[in-house]
Structure 1
Amino acid sequence: MSRDFFKRSDVKRLLIRSTNWIGDAVMTTPAVRAIRRHFPGASISLLAKPWVAPVFANSPHVDEIIVYEANGRHRGAMGPIRLARDLRRRDFDAAILLQNAIEAALIAFLAGIPMRVGFDTDARRLLLTHPVRCTKAIKAIHQTGYYLKILEGVGIPPRGQILELSVGDTNRQRAKEILTEQGALPGRRVIGLNPSATFGPAKQWFPERFAVLGDRLSRTLDAAIVIFGGPADRDLGNHIAGMMQAPVVDLSGRTSLGEAMALIERCDAFVTNDSGLMHVAAAVNTPLVAVFGSTNSTTTSPFSSTSRIVRVPIECSPCMKPVCPLGHMNCMRQVSVEVVAEAVEGLL
């Protein structure tokens, strides 16, 4: 493979295929920045699922977001074919696939995009014009660097691993309004709690401990406590709020992702499981404490100088299982409220 494959003069219209999860998308922001700096004159479009698109809505490195309407026009067996036809009309010169599934390569292939770059995972080498070998060493590094390795494979230099997330003035104004509506007093510290996480319960610290932690931080830091979460987390947020003695603002399932990003930016500290919102907090430079158990704190830790990881190393962790195979989640059970609270208080 020629390492000068991506000559600026060859690429006028470029497609980036985003990853499908919020946290992964945030960790691709250094790669998106590097692509823009390598092609300053190109028109760059980014293809993303609807729930991920807000991550890039205010990005200065993307000219257009194309929504993969997985539950609409592009749903079902024929959906990817319809999407490929939609992309073909845009006459892209090249596609960089940050999403690793074979579907991403198949859609780019069917769209007739002449230059297609991505890792050679998921048996998709034949669908890519420039497959980049994904080695064991690459899989072992932090995911911000992992995505940059795709670009290095075709001669695009990395431009640092710092995360970048543009929240936008509209979301910032809305976040201010939400906190005012909920009675969070101006000038008072705001502590965010994020008790949810996708990929199963093994990633989630215990709700009752989040409740005890919220009460403690409200008392010791004179802080307003805000609970975060998506639409599926309303019951969880309500459960934790109901266990707390201190006043609490439960926003789980009550904000858009853009609003949640702006609210996290306003937090003085954020306590979270390994999750998409953890990476949002890291990207907007909010001091955070992340509780890790079943997942790998080397590859998916918050990439931030103001973050602290709390975990208890035991023999079976990280197991990368969505549900604890032993049934007792000992890796999480050994993480005490005291340790997490001290980590937050130390940050502040």
Structure 2
Amino acid sequence: MAVGREIPYRCLVVGPSWVGDMLMAQSLFKALATREVGIEAGLELDVLAPAWSHGILARMPEVRRALVAPFAHGSFGLTERWRLGRELSRAGYDQAFVLPNSWKSALVPFFAGIPLRTGYLGEFRVRLLNDIRRLDEKAMPRLVERFSALAYPAAANPLSQRGAGGDVIEDGISQAPQPRLTVNPQAQQASLARLGLDRAQPILALCPGAEYGPAKRWPEAHYAAVARAKLQEGWQVWLFGSAKDRPVTEAINQLTRDACVNLAGQTTLEETVDLLACARAVVSNDSGLMHIAAAVDVPLIAVYGSTDPGYTPPFSDKARVLRLGLECSPCFKRECPLGHLDCLNKLGPERVLEGLPE
């Protein structure tokens, strides 16, 4: 990056398409905003991302603007990408960071003529990127490290867990910046008032959904058992999720005789940020809401089944991961290929209750 320039260094980030991955991307944003590279005039960081993610990006102080990626998930949209690239060519970006590994994700920065285009080798995009990084998965096992490492020159990556002799440091502690979302107290109060909520009693937030599939969902009966135990102690229990999670949250609520507050489908992502910050504790599957809870720094118990907490853990000192570690887990399948889902069914609610505050 140029030293002594009078205008801000302008970066465009092509963001990921999942809530949790977008939270992990904030580590890159924070690394860019804080590293000592002589950006005397400052940094202007814009993120090209799906419209649904803009509520999250609005709570990241490092982001100047969230730009809408007008492409349907999974669509190619070559013409639309070319038009957007030509439009963005007038923004004067100095560097682009392409976080998804797909070929099509690198098209907009290429069409925009951004001078420096950084990303991992990925899917046949050697000609689209000109600052290509080769991913060492063993040295950077976590997604948050892989994103953050792009902020640094390839030869000076401080996030690699390889020692001087080339060996991987087992259980190395990540030095990547922790994602942290800003809570808006005024908006928080407005959300509480709109939904008829209060904070008079301690709040347990349950996030029982997982868009990826049922192999990531702790059983509804287990969530209900945890809810009943805390309700008996005088806690409130709030159920979070999207409209798609409504059947799951309704089933849990029925098992507690409708004693919970079912917020699934009732809040925007921005409102969810503020409301999760009200909680005394959160219990969640491996989901986007888990990462939001970690990013507002509340005590969190994260339940893992088919996925690997070594790759996308909740990035918070207040988070605790629970998993059984069966031989068949992690399988990364949407549904249990063995038909029993023992990795979650056999992880009893008493394990979660032991980790919750009284």
Q: TM-score, normalised by structure 2?
A: 0.87
SS of match in other structure, 1:242: helix
Q: Give the paired residue count.
A: 335
- Structure with more of its chain in helix, by fraction: 1
Over 3 Å counting, the alpha-carbon distance change for 1:248 and 1:108 in structure 2 is same
CA distance in 1, matches of 2:76, 2:136: 33
Q: Which amino acid aligns with 1:176?
A: L
CA distance in 2, matches of 1:279, 1:22: 8
Per-residue CA deviation, residues 209-233 of structure 1 (Å, 9 max, x unaligned), is 211211111113x110000001211
- Tell me what 1:216 maps to: 229
1:334 and 2:346 aligned: yes
Per-residue CA deviation, residues 47-66 of structure 1 (Å, 9 max, x unaligned), is 11111122221322122111
1:206 and 2:207 aligned: no
Q: Please identify, of 31-40 and 333-342, the stretch whose mean Cα deviation from structure 2 is larger.
A: 31-40
CA contact (8 A) 1:69 1:75 kept: no
Per-residue deviation at 1:20? Answer: 1.3
1:32 and 2:45 aligned: no
Over 3 Å counting, the alpha-carbon distance change for 1:177 and 1:216 in structure 2 is same
Over 3 Å counting, the alpha-carbon distance change for 1:42 and 1:308 in structure 2 is closer
- Tell me what 1:190 maps to: 203
Give the one of 167, 173, 178 matched to 1:162.
178
CA contact (8 A) 2:30 2:177 kept: no
> What is the Cα-based RMSD across aligned positions, in Å?
2.3
CA contact (8 A) 2:26 2:60 kept: no
Identical pairs, percent: 31
- Tell me what 1:171 maps to: 187
Q: Which amino acid aligns with 1:82?
A: R
Q: Extract unaligned runs of 5+ from structure 1.
A: 1-5
1:299-314 pair list within 5 angstroms: 299-314=311-326
CA distance in 1, matches of 2:153, 2:104: 21
Q: Extract unaligned runs of 5+ from structure 2.
A: 160-174
After TM superposition, which residue ranges in structure 1, 4 or more long, deviate above 6 angstroms? 156-159
CA distance in 1, matches of 2:275, 2:338: 37
- Tell me what 1:7 maps to: 2
Over 3 Å counting, the alpha-carbon distance change for 1:254 and 1:62 in structure 2 is same
Per-residue deviation at 1:136? Answer: 2.6
1:78-117 pair list within 5 angstroms: 78-117=79-118
CA distance in 2, matches of 1:9, 1:104: 32
CA contact (8 A) 1:95 1:117 kept: yes
Per-residue CA deviation, residues 134-192 of structure 1 (Å, 9 max, x unaligned), is 123245x222212112223456877842221113344322333245x14x4x4310000
- Tell me what 1:18 maps to: 15
Per-residue CA deviation, residues 15-66 of structure 1 (Å, 9 max, x unaligned), is 1222111111111212101112344623221111111122221322122111
1:319 and 2:331 aligned: yes
SS of match in other structure, 1:177: helix
Per-residue deviation at 1:315? Answer: 0.6
- Tell me what 1:129 maps to: 130
1:244 and 2:241 aligned: no
- Tell me what 1:225 maps to: 237
Q: Please identify, of 51-60 and 195-204, the stretch whose mean Cα deviation from structure 2 is larger.
A: 51-60
Q: TM-score, normalised by structure 1?
A: 0.89
1:255 and 2:256 aligned: no
